[in-house]
Structure 1
C-alpha cells in the first residue's frame, strides 16, 4: 500500500469548487491552494485551443451552440462566471511551471496534433517533460498524441472496469490510468501497480471518500477542492 502522504492532489478544472471551471482564476486558485497538479480540458476551434469541458457552451457561458462551430471572435466574447475563456497558451503562461499540468483532450478534430505543437514550444522553452500529462477518454486521439510526442506522459481515462483491468492503459503506452471513484477497488489498484501504472481517481470531493481511497492505495485524486485533500495529508 502507498504512503498516503505521497498522494498526488490534482485540481479538477483548476479548482472548480472555488472558481469558475477552466478559467485562469480557477487555475490561479488551484496554485494558491497548493494543488500538486492542475487538470483542465481543451478543445480545438477556429485554429486555437480553448479551455472548455462541454462541447456546447450553453452550461458555462451566456452563449449557445457548439464551441467548435464558433470563430475566435465569438469565443473571446464569451464569459464563464465573468471570466474569459482562456487558450492553452494563456493557461500555461499563467501556471509558469508552478504545478504539474494535466491536459484533457475533449475533441477529436486535430486536437491532439494542435496540443502536441504547443507543448513542443514550451518544452523547448525549458518546461520539464514530466510536468505534463495529456489524457483523454477518446483513446484514438490519445494514441495520436502519443505518436506525435512520445516523451510526454499520457493518462488513459476510462469509466468502468475493462475486462483486462488496467490493460488498455498499457496498450496505449500510458503512465497513468484514471478512473471514476465508483469503480475503484483493491484488485484494480494492484493490477495497475503490477503493470507499473499510477492509478488516479476522479472526481472526489468529500473527505470521507478521500480517506477511503487513500486507504486503498490510490496514487492521485482529482478534486474540485484541492484544499480538502491536502488537509488530509
Structure 2
C-alpha cells in the first residue's frame, strides 16, 4: 500500500458512505470523484460470487431480510441496496474503478473468501493491474494467512480493534504492510512501533474534522472516512 505523495492516505470507507449507500457502485464512484486515494470495500463469498456487503445479514443495508448466505445469487441481485442500487460483485467494482484509485478489500467471510478473492485479483493483475494497488485486509487473521499463501505479491493489512499485546508485531508476523486500527485505540507508542517495523498505521473510521486533524498531527499514515473530502481538506 504505497503512501500518498503527501504522506497521508485518505481511504473512502465502503466507498463514500456518508454520501451514498455503502458498498455500492455509486458510493465507490463518489469516493473517487471526491478525490480519495483508496476505496475500502467489504466482500463476502457466497453462491459462487464475491458480494460487496459488510453485515452478514441483509436487513440494515438492503430491503432483504436474514442472512446473506440464506439467499441465492439470483435473489440477491434483485435486492435494493439503497436508492435503487444493487449489491455489486467484486469484479463489477473493480471494472468501475479501472485503476483510478487503490482498492482495500476487506475479507468479511471465511468460507473460501480468501481463495475466491485471490482468484479474482490474479486475473486483474494478469490484465495489467499492479499488485500494489490492492490491499487485502481482515480481522480474521487465518483468512489473511491463507490469502498470503495464494497470492503473496498482494499487500496485506491487519485489522485490529484494540491495542495488540505485541504492539504492531501482529502485522509483522503476517508479513503485512499495514496495521489498521480503531480510532478509539490510537496510541502514540503503537504508531511509533509500527513505523519502527516499516509498517503503515491507518485508523478507522474518522469523520470529525478535529479528530482528523489530531490523528494527522500524531503521525498516522492514513484514515478510513465516510467523508473523504473532509480529510483531503487538511491539505
Range of TM-score over shorter length? over 0.9
Aligned residue number for residue 121 of structure 1: 123
Q: 1:33 to 1:165 in 2, by over 3 A?
A: same
- Structure 1 gaps of 5+ residues are none
Which residue number in structure 1 is paired with residue 11 of structure 2? 10
Q: TM-score, normalization: structure 2?
A: 0.97
CA–CA distance in structure 1, aligned partners of residues 18 and 4 of structure 2: 26
In 2, the alpha carbon distance for the partners of 1:185 and 1:162 equals: 11
Query: Is residue 2:107 matched to residue 1:105?
Result: yes
- Specify whether residues 4 and 203 from structure 1 end up closer, same or farther in structure 2 by C-alpha distance, changes over 3 A only: farther
CA contact (8 A) 1:4 1:215 kept: no
Q: Aligned in 2, Cα 1:27/1:63: closer, same or farther, shift over 3 Å? A: same
Equivalent residues of 2:51, 2:90 under 8 A apart: yes
Alignment partner, residue 89 of structure 2 = 87
Taking the aligned partners of 2:233 and 2:111, their CA distance within structure 1 comes to 40
2-structure distance, mates of 1:70, 1:119? 25
d(CA) in 2 for partners of 1:153 and 1:7? 18
Query: What residue number does 1:35 align with?
Result: 36
* 1:66-121, Cα deviation, whole Å (9 max, x unpaired): 11221111110111112000000000000000000000000000000000000000
Residue equivalent to 1:208:
210
Q: Deviations over 1:2-33 (max 9, x none)?
A: 99932000000000000000000000000100
Q: CA 1:188 to 1:74, structure 2 compared with 1: closer, same or farther past 3 Å?
A: same
Q: For 2:208 and 2:44, how far apart are their aligned partners in 1?
A: 29
**Would you say the 8 A contact 1:112–1:144 is kept in 2?**
yes
What is the TM-score of this pair, normalised by structure 1?
0.98
Cα contact 1:3–1:217 (8 A) shared by 2:
no
Partners of 1:45 and 1:69 within 8 A in 2: no
Structure 1 residues 27-70: Cα deviation after superposition (integer angstroms, max 9, x where no partner): 00001000000000000010100000000001001111111221
What are structure 2's unaligned runs of at least 5 residues?
none
How is 1:122-137 mapped onto 2 (pairs within 5 angstroms)?
Answer: 122-137=124-139
- Once residues 28 and 62 of structure 1 are traced to their aligned partners in structure 2, the CA distance between those partners, rounded to angstroms, is 22
Runs of 4+ in 1 over 2 A off after TM superposition: 2-5
Q: Is the 1:176–1:197 contact (alpha carbons within 8 Å) kept by the matching residues of 2?
A: yes
Structure 2 residue aligned with 1:50: 51
Superposition CA RMSD, Å: 1.3
